[in-house]
Structure 1
Amino acid sequence: MRINILQHTPNEGPGSIRTWAEKFGHQIYVYHPYQFNGILPTADQTDMLVILGGPMSPNDDLPWIKAERNLIQELLNKDTPMFGACFGAQQIAKTMGYVIKKSPAKEVGWAPVYRQTTTIPDIPDKLLALHWHEEMFEIPQEAELLFSSDAVKNQGFVLNHRVVGLQFHFEPQDNDVREIVTNDAPYIAGSIFKQNATDILKTPVPKENQETMFQILNYISADK
């Protein structure tokens, strides 16, 4: 399977998604449309699409952001497996016609999320996730609410056995968290979690996060 990954900033890579792909012998192609003139894969080249986070907003008037949504729409039409994290999840929701707006609270750091449906099996009721956002998506009416946090209800959705969007991050591993914090520590200011860079770095990534990421990817890529 060819997994095309859209990466939107150098310090937010695929993390455990790469680990999952390598475990099952899938090929990864990583695109950086924000840097390389909006280069994107075609729908025909894509067996699974992963859309990662980034500092931009789907509401920004940039040609490559709109081109990404055209690709997402083609893949929705083809029922292609798709996973979006943070900005990526927002891109999926906006493609489907839903609003992206400021969330009721800026969430940056470690905080729990709570599973809202058992549609994807073997996911714990509560997980400690890395949050790095201050915008949120509306849940598509066609989708199920998958996760909520204490401050923001719309934290994740699952759609048609093929699409999952998460407002937060399960994919980072310990080295990825260090890279995120090293390069983007000023963004922590104003978070409701009142954590500093040291607090975030000294929190180990829970092993359940990779296990849950694997469950999500298994789910969207499995035969219906």
Structure 2
Amino acid sequence: MQHTPNEGPGSIKLWAENHNHSMFVYHPYQFGILPSIDETDMLVILGGPMSPNDDSDWVRKERDLILAAIQKDIPIFGACFGAQQIAKTLGYRVTKGPVKEVGWAPVYLQSDVIKDIPKQLTALHWHEEMFEVPHQAQLLFSSDHLINQGFVMNHRIIGLQFHFEPTENDVREIVVNDGSYARDNVLGQSADDILSHSVPAENKAVMYKLLDYINA
């Protein structure tokens, strides 16, 4: 599920192609269409400018789909809004965070459940809301400004508040369309600062590891 034109699947699409998987991209915010659970082998919920607390029909229906996937033990990956949707589906709160994080900043691994993940990585942040980590999940990542940056649950679900998936072209697309969002954020980075920072090469490799883990 993609929720805004400028936040696409990035390296998730490359991972799917490398594994010879068929990928279908839905735009529920525009068309109101979601897949049925019977035709879904894995669920990816991407980011977007909306909130899980919005009273939109498609936002609620998306959570119904997430719940059905959880009940069927289908792998789920959520980024930013997607991770918040997973937490909300499980009955946990999504609230405004202590700070607005926009730009490149380190995240720190908090669990060794997934092997061979570096202890520190530089990720793209683009958010000001945060999720509660579900009690049945493990905290996976934290940042300097926000403890709840990622969680992993039951070897099948990963939610990240930040973004590992963007490629260089994806970052450019995000920034040229939504660069004004970077104003007044705790990281102090402008749109130009974000554009001038290259995507760390390890982010793609880690994204692949996370997807491999929930599909094992």
Which interval holds the TM-score relative to the shorter structure? over 0.9
Identical columns (%): 65
- After TM superposition, the structure 1 = structure 2 runs for residues 55-204 of structure 1, keeping only pairs within 5 Å, are 55-204=49-198
Q: Report the equivalent of 2:30.
A: 35
* Distance apart, 1:99 and its partner CA: 0.3
**Is 1:13 matched up with 2:8?**
yes
- In structure 2, the partner of 1:3 is none
Count matched residues. Answer: 216
CA shift, 1:164, in A, is 0.1
5+ residue gaps in structure 1?
1-5
Deviation at 1:157, TM superposition (A): 0.1
**Matches of 2:193 and 2:152, distance apart in 1:** 31
| TM-score calculated relative to the size of structure 2 | 1.00
Cα deviation for residue 190 of structure 1 reads: 1.4
Question: Which of the residues 183, 186, 207 maps onto 1:213?
Answer: 207
How much has 1:198 moved relative to structure 2?
1.0
Residue segments in structure 2 that go unaligned for 5+ positions in a row: none
After TM superposition, the runs of 4+ consecutive aligned structure 1 residues lying more than 6 A away are none
Distance 1:115 1:133 in 2: 19
CA-to-aligned-CA distance 1:175-194 (integer Å, 9 cap, x gap): 00000000001110111011
TM-score by structure 1 length?
Answer: 0.96
Corresponding residue SS for 1:140: coil
Q: What amino acid sits opposite 2:141 in the alignment?
A: F
Distance (whole Å) between structure 2 residues aligned to residue 49 and residue 103 of structure 1: 26
Q: 3-state SS of the aligned residue for 1:204? A: coil
Counterpart pick for 2:17 among 2, 17, 22: 22
In the alignment, the residues of structure 1 paired with residue 78 and residue 7 of structure 2 have an alpha-carbon distance, to the nearest angstrom, of: 13
**Amino acid corresponding to residue 12 of structure 2 in structure 1:** I
Secondary structure (helix, strand or coil) at the match of 1:30 reads coil
Deviation at 1:26, TM superposition (A): 0.4
Shift of 1:151: 0.4
Amino acid at match of 1:163: I
| Structure 2 letter corresponding to 1:86 | C
